[in-house]
Amino acid sequence: MDFTKLNASIPPRDDDAAAAAQRHWDGIAKPLGSLGLLEDMVVALAGVFGTPDVQIQKRGVLVLCADNGVVKEGVAQSTHEVTLAVAENLTKKQTSVCRMAGVVGASVIPVDMGMVGTLDSPLLLNRRIAAGTKNMAEGPAMSKEEAARAIQAGIDLVKMCKDEGYKILATGEMGIGNTTTSSAIAAVLLDKPVEEVTGRGSGLSTEALKKKIETIKKAIAINKPDPSDAFDVLHKLGGFDIAGMVGLFLGGALHRIPIIIDGLISAVSALIAVRLCPRSRYAMIPSHISSEPAGEALMRKLDLSPIIRAEMRLGEGTGAVALLPLLDMALAVYHGSSSFSEIGISAYEKLS
């Protein structure tokens, strides 16, 4: 996969549309900039869409499901059977993200990117690369070809959603062991000690956390990923869910569909996407800061400002979905408020 060529094919942010959206905000009868980051996000959306008429009525949550071979090292409370069980519950609309998405009218779209188990359901999209990755503590988690296929699958998913009329997409994932793979990638790309970026995931004991940290150190030592080559880091330490989400972020930029970043796994994927194709960043919309140790550092590296700090770490896209009602409220003000001229008062002036 030629990322230099792919990066060149990504359309730029529409600065004229973003500027028009900012002028519209400034004309609304309220103190300038008083909705803070909510205003900034609407302006960012205008830059992605290429129009100040920002509309996000049809929204989806892509939940990428995959298993990780590193689970063999005892880094998680659960086994791969849980990934399959949650994927099945996603098709039944019974998981946490399904309940939250129902409140904001978002469609949950579960995708099998590479689970060990299989589920024959028309409600689970089959994009499986293999029956889980290999154990990264013994060698590369996936081949370069597998990583490239997973990225392309993510890009294609965005195109599919655009063709179906979706205006904005949230990223989600499900896969036992994926906080281990994500923490490993974060340690390399952020150049931070493994202990500093590794958390308890779904609830490890102190002893199990030590095992997780040692496993990540072992995987990095064995694979020797090149910090300057994000694709090398991805195929050696990542998962099919992460690679697929890299594709979602690249696809969002290619097809002018804003992609909402969720938590740790999603943010790691976003950072890889930016390292591979720097122009992809303009279509990324931050939601919350994960309570996982690397969450805040990843957002700083991406130079993005999430507006939710709720100590969430559930996954599935729950944090990303939590942003949607805030965007809806911001857009209600943006589209429905009176201007200064309409109510017959002088507009605020920007003061230096």
The CA distance from 9 to 12, in Å, is 9
Contact predicate 320/287, CB 8 Å:
yes
The CA-atom distances, in angstroms, between 11 and each of 7, 8, 24, 231 are 9, 8, 24, 22
The CA-atom distances, in angstroms, between 59 and each of 53, 106, 147, 190, 321 are 16, 5, 27, 32, 10
3-state SS assignment for residue 16: helix
Residues 6+ apart with CB under 8 A from 162: 255, 257
Residues 6+ apart with CB under 8 A from 198: 179, 180, 183, 187, 209, 212, 213, 216, 293, 294
- Single out the catalytic residue among 164, 311, 316, 342: 316
3-state SS assignment for residue 114: strand
Dump the DSSP string for 28-80: BSS-TTTTTHHHHHHHHHHHHHTSS-----SEEEEEEEE--GGGGGS-SSS-H
Phi, psi of 193 (to 5 degrees): -60, 145
Residue 292 annotated as catalytic: no
The letter for the amino acid at 173 is: E
The letter for the amino acid at 68 is: N
Query: End-to-end CA distance of the chain, in Å?
Result: 48
The CA distance from 291 to 300, in Å, is 14
The letter for the amino acid at 201 is: G
3-state SS assignment for residue 256: coil
Residues assigned a catalytic role: 316
